[in-house]
């Protein structure tokens, strides 16, 4: 099973590389993690320092907004379907 690291650990490791001027391979060895993993963390952090390590199951703000909008669309479509069925039932009863 893969090791799991929290946001603080990842940020600390990235800052050792970026601010401390240490090499990725040496830092990875020191922290007992894969150099590939640390390199990916550094790359992610450079792209988006604020939302770089959102965590498992957590979405970036823009992804969360998109998910919420899609949920809203689905809910409204379901409401419309229910109302259409109700209209059909009421129209039958009036005849």
Predicted local confidence at residue 64, as pLDDT? 75
List, for the chain, all residue ranges whose pLDDT scores fall below the cut of 50. none
Predicted local confidence at residue 62, as pLDDT? 74
The CATH code belonging to domain 1-57 is 1.10.10
CA-CA distance, 37 to 3, in Å (whole number)? 11
Domain ranges for the chain: 1-57, 59-95
pTM comes to 0.56
């Amino acid at each position: 099973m893969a090791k799991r690291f929290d946001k603080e650990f990842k940020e600390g490791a990235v800052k050792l590389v970026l601010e401390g001027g240490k090499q990725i391979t040496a830092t990875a060895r020191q922290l007992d993690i894969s150099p590939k993993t640390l390199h990916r963390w550094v790359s992610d952090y450079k792209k988006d320092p604020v939302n770089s390590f959102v965590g498992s199951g957590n979405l970036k703000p823009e992804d969360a907004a998109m998910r919420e909008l899609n949920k809203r669309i689905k809910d409204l479509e379901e409401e419309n379907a229910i109302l259409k069925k109700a209209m059909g039932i009421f129209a039958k009863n009036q005849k």
